[in-house]
Structure 1
């Protein structure tokens, strides 16, 4: 691979320049930062395509609502991303839509595109018949969802116990802020100052997959590990030696 283009998500905590600087020290390819993908490559068809890949029901694989009001919402969200939220998109369908918008001379596998997204993406699980939120969707382009970092990996068990306890006592779900203050355990929250550091590994996973064909690492202490719970995300991305012994040979920068 010769080039990686990383796209900003300006309404989020993610610092694309810091991620690019970290990545460039670890890979043998040029790394450039570009403005937000959905702004740079938006066209008249994109709002309707986004409406068409919305997840409508967590237990229904069918997606899409292209009614005029929904399309208008997507138009506003492209223009004013700070107003977007509360929607999950089919990550693989969105990936195909964005792939069509990569300039033809930049679509080869020698030039990886990694949009940092301010949208939540998911993939359908045939094994359990429901949608699963994801931090990243590997491929070309590789999607990295910033809100997915907070929402996709499961919280510590104590988080859900406290949520249930509060519901039994009060009859409703507690505000997220209350849970985040009361629950012990390590997990990332919206606008977490550790966001940029945690996302570095997910961007590297995108590069690693396209350049080697290997998706993830089984070692829980490696940046290439696909963690399914928040404490494991902290362990893989924010602690330890960064890489397992095998991947350290490839990605650890020279001392």
Structure 2
């Protein structure tokens, strides 16, 4: 049984760990507290190398890792200056193992759940289609919640990708949010979206839920425990009422 949840900040993102913790605490039978960035609090000497080993070089290559000295130095600099990191996908399971080994032994048991909000894109390999898939979260100890994954992992409306490509061909860079929002039908989240914190609350709750019940996700669309593969479904699950399906309302719902 989880007795304590520790949420770690991601200071280079708009995600507010304190607000997530305040939402979570009345819904769970555990104390909830907030710590600074996981990669700062639990730094180990080999963490840069472990991130280099977890790099995904190609969407269709199962093998991971680039441990050339320059890559390791890059990862070490990214740990010191996270605002400079970006554009790299990491194997979420490898990162999880690296961060688990960085935890102090007295905090590694499942009675203390660590939830690391990360400013890194993480993924898992799909045996069914032979490619990497970006993820919002990787459940376990510690649980990883990727803020970039919130924007990048679920599929957006097809018109979004067409408009982005069109703008890029004309101007050479990504279109501003207001351009995409005005020209693309449908609702979706993009980088630094003001709805980020609200949308992440359910993903953090999923980390607690799986340890408490053994159930990873809910199969009912519109529930915060639903594993959405499209932005439309993500927004329905995380940002619209009701928060939970009838079954999970009994467990986590609040008046």
Q: TM-score range by the shorter chain?
A: over 0.9
How do 1:8-157 residues align onto structure 2 when only pairs under 5 Å count?
8-157=9-158
How do 1:155-234 residues align onto structure 2 when only pairs under 5 Å count?
155-163=156-164, 166=166, 170=169, 175-177=174-176, 178-234=179-235
Change in CA separation of 1:143 and 1:239 when aligned onto 2, cut-off 3 Å: same
Tell me the CA shift for residue 46 of structure 1: 0.6
- Tell me the SS of whatever aligns to 2:124: strand
Normalized against structure 1, the TM-score is what? 0.95
Give the superposed CA RMSD: 1.7
Tell me the CA shift for residue 240 of structure 1: 1.7
Tell me the CA shift for residue 179 of structure 1: 3.6
Equivalent-residue separation in structure 2 for 1:160 and 1:39 (angstroms): 35
Tell me the CA shift for residue 157 of structure 1: 2.3
Counterpart residue number, 1:248: 249
Tell me the CA shift for residue 160 of structure 1: 3.0
Equivalent-residue separation in structure 2 for 1:160 and 1:79 (angstroms): 33
Normalized against structure 2, the TM-score is what? 0.95
Tell me the CA shift for residue 181 of structure 1: 4.1
Contact 1:163 1:173 in 2 (8 A): no
Report Cα offsets for 1:72-130 as digits up to 9, x if no partner.
11111101100100000000111011001111111111111000001000000011110
Tell me the CA shift for residue 134 of structure 1: 0.2
Equivalent-residue separation in structure 2 for 1:238 and 1:207 (angstroms): 19
- Tell me the SS of whatever aligns to 2:39: helix
- Structure 1 residue runs without a partner (length 5+): none
Tell me the CA shift for residue 44 of structure 1: 1.4
Tell me the CA shift for residue 246 of structure 1: 0.1
Tell me the CA shift for residue 141 of structure 1: 0.6
Change in CA separation of 1:245 and 1:173 when aligned onto 2, cut-off 3 Å: farther
